[in-house]
A and B are shown apart, each in its own frame.
Chain A
Amino acid sequence: MSLTRLAAFAWREMRELWRDRARLTSAILVPAALLLVVGFGLSLDVEDLKYAVLDRDLTPASRSYLEPFAHSRYFDYRGALDSPRELERTLVAADVTLVIDVPRGFQRDLVRGSSPEVAFWLDGTLPFSADVAAGYVAAMHRAWVRSQRPESAAVEPVVETRFWYNPGLRSAISFVPGLVAALLGMFPAMVAAMGFAREKELGTIVNLHATPLGRLEFILGKQAPYAALGLLQFVVLLALALTVFRPPARGDVTALVALALLYAWALTGLGILVASFVGSQIQALLITMIVTMLPAWVFSGVFTPVTSMSGPAQAIAAAFPTTYFLDACVAVMTKGLGGDALAGDALALGAFALGFDLLALALLKEQAP
Chain B
Amino acid sequence: MIRGLRHVFWLGAKELRTLSRTPALIVFILYALTALVYATGEGISLEVRSAGVGVVDEDRSQLSRAIVDALRPPRFRAPQEIPEPEVGTVLDAGTHTFVLQIPPAFERDLLQRRRTRVKLDVDATAVSQAYLGASYIEEIIGREVRRRRGAVTGPAPPPAEAQVRVRFNPNRQGRWQVGVMFLGFMITLLTAVLPAAALLREREHGTIEQMLSMPLHPVELILGKAWAYILVVLAASALSLVVVVEGALETPMRGSYVLLLLATVVYQLTTAGLGMLLATFARSLAQIGLLSLLLLCPMLYLSGAWMPVESMPESIRWVASLMPFHYYARACYGLIIRGAGLSAIASDLAVLGAMGAAALTVGVLRFRSRFGVPVG
Once bound together, how far apart are the Cα atoms of A169 and B40, in whole Å? 26
Given contacts A160-B117, A305-B97, contact A131 B161 (CB under 8 A): no
Task: Tell yes or no: A138 within 8 A of B by CB.
Answer: yes
Mark out the residues of chain B between 132 and 169 whose CB falls within 8 Å of any chain A CB in the assembled complex.
132, 134-139, 141-142, 145, 157-169
A316 touches B39 (CB 8 A): yes
Once bound together, how far apart are the Cα atoms of A194 and B289, in whole Å? 9
A335 touches B125 (CB 8 A): yes
B290 touches A313 (CB 8 A): no
The answer, among A37, A121, A164, A198, for a CB contact under 8 Å with B302, is A37
Task: Tell yes or no: B312 within 8 A of A by CB.
Answer: yes
Given contacts A42-B301, A117-B160, contact A285 B42 (CB under 8 A): no
Question: How many whole Å from A200's CB to the nearest CB in chain B?
Answer: 13
A124 touches B163 (CB 8 A): no
Given contacts A116-B160, A135-B132, contact A161 B92 (CB under 8 A): no
The answer, among B32, B113, B132, for a CB contact under 8 Å with A154, is B113
A23 touches B284 (CB 8 A): yes
* Majority secondary structure of chain A interface residues (helix, strand, loop or mixed): helix
Contacts of A195 in B (CB 8 A): 286
Task: Tell yes or no: B49 within 8 A of A by CB.
Answer: yes
Contacts of A164 in B (CB 8 A): 91, 121-124
B119 touches A162 (CB 8 A): yes
Contacts of B301 in A (CB 8 A): 38, 41-42
Contacts of A311 in B (CB 8 A): 42-43
The answer, among B159, B169, B297, B314, for a CB contact under 8 Å with A110, is B159
B24 touches A41 (CB 8 A): no
Contacts of B173 in A (CB 8 A): 127
B289 touches A297 (CB 8 A): no
Question: How many whole Å from B195's CB to the nearest CB in chain A?
Answer: 11
Once bound together, how far apart are the Cα atoms of A97 and B309, in whole Å? 12
The answer, among B124, B300, B307, B308, for a CB contact under 8 Å with A297, is B300
Given contacts A127-B174, A160-B120, A304-B128, contact A46 B311 (CB under 8 A): yes
A162 touches B122 (CB 8 A): yes
Task: Tell yes or no: A130 within 8 A of B by CB.
Answer: yes
Once bound together, how far apart are the Cα atoms of A149 and B159, in whole Å? 8
Task: Tell yes or no: A94 within 8 A of B by CB.
Answer: yes
Task: Tell yes or no: B118 within 8 A of A by CB.
Answer: yes
Task: Tell yes or no: B319 within 8 A of A by CB.
Answer: yes
Contacts of A48 in B (CB 8 A): 310, 314
Contacts of A22 in B (CB 8 A): 283-284, 287
Residue of B nearest to A162 (CB): B121
Contacts of B132 in A (CB 8 A): 128, 131-132, 135
Task: Tell yes or no: B368 within 8 A of A by CB.
Answer: no
Listed stretches A78-86, A215-223, A234-242, A274-282; interface member: A274-282
Task: Tell yes or no: B357 within 8 A of A by CB.
Answer: no
CB within 8 Å: A-B pair count: 372
Once bound together, how far apart are the Cα atoms of A297 and B300, in whole Å? 9
B161 touches A115 (CB 8 A): yes
Question: How many whole Å from B19's CB to the nearest CB in chain A?
Answer: 10
Contacts of B319 in A (CB 8 A): 37, 41
Contacts of A204 in B (CB 8 A): none
User: How does the 8 Å CB contact mask read for A269-308 relative to B, with 1 for contact and 0 for none?
Assistant: 0000000011111110111011101100111000111011
Which size class do A's interface residues fall under? 35 or more
A93 touches B285 (CB 8 A): no
B163 touches A119 (CB 8 A): yes
Given contacts A91-B338, A110-B159, contact A159 B120 (CB under 8 A): yes
Mark out the residues of chain B between 100 and 140 whose CB falls within 8 Å of any chain A CB in the assembled complex.
106, 110, 113-132, 134-139
Given contacts A23-B286, A127-B47, A304-B45, contact A171 B127 (CB under 8 A): yes
The answer, among B25, B51, B158, B338, for a CB contact under 8 Å with A282, is B25
Identify 21 residue pairs between A and B in the complex whose beta-carbon atoms are under 8 Å apart, listed by A's number.
A26-B286, A34-B297, A42-B312, A92-B339, A119-B165, A141-B162, A145-B158, A155-B113, A157-B106, A159-B118, A161-B122, A281-B197, A282-B25, A282-B197, A286-B29, A289-B289, A299-B44, A303-B127, A305-B94, A308-B49, A316-B43
- B-to-A contact residues, CB < 8 Å: 22, 24-25, 28-29, 31-32, 36, 38-40, 42-52, 91-94, 97, 106, 110, 113-132, 134-139, 141-142, 145, 157-170, 172-174, 176-177, 182, 189-190, 193-194, 197-198, 201, 204, 283-291, 293-294, 296-298, 300-302, 307-308, 310-314, 316, 319, 330, 333-334, 337-340, 343-344
**Known contacts A164-B91, A190-B289, then 14 further A-B pairs from the complex at CB < 8 Å, ordered by chain A residue:** A27-B290, A30-B290, A93-B344, A117-B163, A127-B45, A127-B46, A144-B160, A157-B116, A194-B289, A289-B289, A293-B296, A298-B40, A305-B94, A313-B42
